[in-house]
Amino acid sequence: MKTLTADLSKATESQISAEATADIRKQLEEQIEALQKAEASTADAEKRYKELEFEKISADKKIKILEQQADSRTKLNNIIKDQKKTITDLKKQLALQTAAAQKAQSSSAEEEDRIKILEAEKISAEEKIKILEQQAESFSADLKNTIESQKKIIADLARQVAEADEKNTLLQESASNETEQILPRKQWSKVYSDGRNYLGELKDDLPDGLGMMVNPDGEQYVGEWSAGERNGRGTLILPNGSSYAGQWEKDAMSGEGILISPERKYMGGWKNNLYDGHGIEIFPDGKKYEGTFRKGQYDGEGTLTLPNGTRYSGAFKQGLSNGKGILRYPNGDRYEGEFKNNQYHGQGTLTLVDGRKYTGEMEKGLPHGQGIMILPDGRKFIGEFRNGKFVK
């Protein structure tokens, strides 16, 4: 019994040991399999790691490439910005050049127009000079003829006076009625109490007809008389060398006449000893006015040229530029518009040779009021000006 029990015990232990061994083997196999799987996984992991390392390296390269591309893109953007700026600057320069070209074309056109105007004015001036020379020659010829005629008249008068004196001497003892029949109706000489001497025709004891009056101060008049007054054509010579040759009315220079003096020369209309009507006045310094006079002053339409070349053509009133006109300066500046007392006043356009141009209201010679100022670069200021400055 004990042996059987022991055998059973051994058999049981052997069975248990075999089962345990099988389990252990199975576990070992599982562990080996797991280890193999782990090794395979490790190999895969290492392979994956290597792949990842490679991908990392590739990614780093790509990042560098992208960074380089980004840097290149930044540089390219900067280049594009610079090019855009350059293009903008070129556009501005092109606009300025275009404006300058347009201005140059405009200036060229204006200059051509100005040249044409100057040529026309030159031709007109030359024609006027010819006319004036012809008129001067005509007046000089008339004056010379008048003087020669007056000299002849004076000589005839002197001869007639001498003959009359001789007849008076011969007939002093004759009866008064006989004397009246022999002597001519008009007397031929007269000496006044104030020292004046008259030689010529008399009527009612007054100069009437042709005659010459000499004053104590040396003033002389030779010409036509009427009832003691200078009337008709005659020549007045003053002690300072000035002379007037022309028409007279009621003892005053009235009508057409020529004045020559050290201070000026005038040829044109007169009224009551003053310039009146159309005439030309020339001064020794080159100043010249041609146009309408009234009561001795520039009044009406005319052209005034100053010694420095400044010239105004337009309306005058009481000796000053008043109304519409054109003022041209020697340097090429030009104003066209309204004037008041020799100043820009009212609406007008001022064009300067430096390219500036103003069109609008003027006051006391300056832009004042609403107007437009255009600068040489094409900029415009439109609005209100005060005392020559743009305010808004």
In a domain, 151, yes or no: yes
Q: Which DSSP category does 186 fall into?
A: S
Letter string b/e over residues 59-79, b meaning 16 or more CB atoms within 10 A of that residue's CB: eeeeeeeeeeeeeeeeeeeee
Pick the closest to residue 249 from 227, 281, 264 (CA basis): 227
In a domain, 197, yes or no: no
Q: Name residues whose C-beta falls within 8 Å of residue 73's C-beta, 6 or more positions apart in sequence.
A: none
Average pLDDT over residues 196-207: 92
Average pLDDT over residues 32-56: 66
Other beta carbons less than 10 A from residue 105's beta carbon:
10
Q: In this predicted structure, what is the pLDDT of residue 209?
A: 93
In a domain, 138, yes or no: yes
Q: Which token pair is 281? A: 């006045």
The whole-model pTM stands at 0.55
Average pLDDT over residues 34-48: 66
Reported as a single tens digit per residue, the pLDDT across 236-257 is 999 999 999 999 999 999 999 9
- Cα-based distances in Å from 54 to 43, 47, 58, 72, 343: 16, 10, 6, 26, 93
Q: In this predicted structure, what is the pLDDT of residue 389?
A: 86
In a domain, 275, yes or no: no
Average pLDDT over residues 105-128: 56
Q: In this predicted structure, what is the pLDDT of residue 296?
A: 95
In a domain, 79, yes or no: yes
Q: How confident is the model at residue 134 (pLDDT cuts 50, 70, 90)?
A: low
Q: Are strands 380-386 and 229-237 parallel, antiparallel or unpaired?
A: unpaired
Higher pLDDT, 191 or 184: 191
The phi and psi torsions of 187 (rounded to 5 degrees) equal -85, 165
Pick the closest to residue 373 from 331, 326, 391, 364 (CA basis): 391
Higher pLDDT, 217 or 29: 217
DSSP class per residue in 84-146: HHHHHHHHHHHHHHHHHHHHHHHHHHHHHHHHHHHHHHHHHHHHHHHHHHHHHHHHHHHHHHH
Q: How many domains does the chain contain in total? A: 1
Average pLDDT, the chain: 76
Q: In this predicted structure, what is the pLDDT of residue 239?
A: 94
Radius of gyration of the chain (CA): 60
Does 105 score more than 90 pLDDT?
no
Does 74 score more than 60 pLDDT?
yes
In a domain, 53, yes or no: yes
Q: Identity (one letter) of the amino acid at 180? A: E
Q: In this predicted structure, what is the pLDDT of residue 52?
A: 58
Other beta carbons less than 10 A from residue 329's beta carbon:
15
- Evaluate whether 274 touches 295 at the Cβ level (below 8 Å): yes
Does 178 score more than 50 pLDDT?
no
Contacts made by residues 335-344, CB under 8 angstroms, sequence distance 24+: 337/362, 338/362, 339/314, 339/315
Q: Which range, 85-89, 131-135, 202-206, 316-320, is most confident?
A: 316-320
Q: In this predicted structure, what is the pLDDT of residue 322?
A: 95
In a domain, 140, yes or no: yes
Q: In this predicted structure, what is the pLDDT of residue 37?
A: 72
Q: How confident is the model at residue 168 (pLDDT cuts 50, 70, 90)?
A: very low
| Adjacent-strand bridge partners of 234 | 223, 246
Helix ranges (DSSP H) in the chain:
2-170, 176-182
Q: In this predicted structure, what is the pLDDT of residue 6?
A: 47
The phi and psi torsions of 126 (rounded to 5 degrees) equal -65, -40
Q: Which DSSP category does 332 fall into?
A: S
- Evaluate whether 324 touches 337 at the Cβ level (below 8 Å): yes
Distance CA 305, CA 125 (A): 12
Distance CA 120, CA 132 (A): 18
Q: Which DSSP category does 378 fall into?
A: S
Comparing 10-14, 15-19, 235-239, 368-372, which segment has the lowest mean pLDDT? 10-14
Angle made by CA atoms 300, 305, 310, in degrees to the nearest 5: 120
Helix (H) / strand (E) element for 350: namely: strand 343-351
Does 200 score more than 70 pLDDT?
yes
In a domain, 360, yes or no: no
- SS percent in the chain: helix, strand, coil, step 5: 45, 35, 20
Q: In this predicted structure, what is the pLDDT of residue 26?
A: 75
Distance CA 353, CA 329 (A): 10
Domain that holds residue 58: 27-175
**Burial bucket for residue 96 (CB in 10 Å: 0-12, 13-18, 19+):** middle
Reported as a single tens digit per residue, the pLDDT across 310-326 is 999 999 999 999 999 99
Q: Which DSSP category does 309 fall into?
A: S
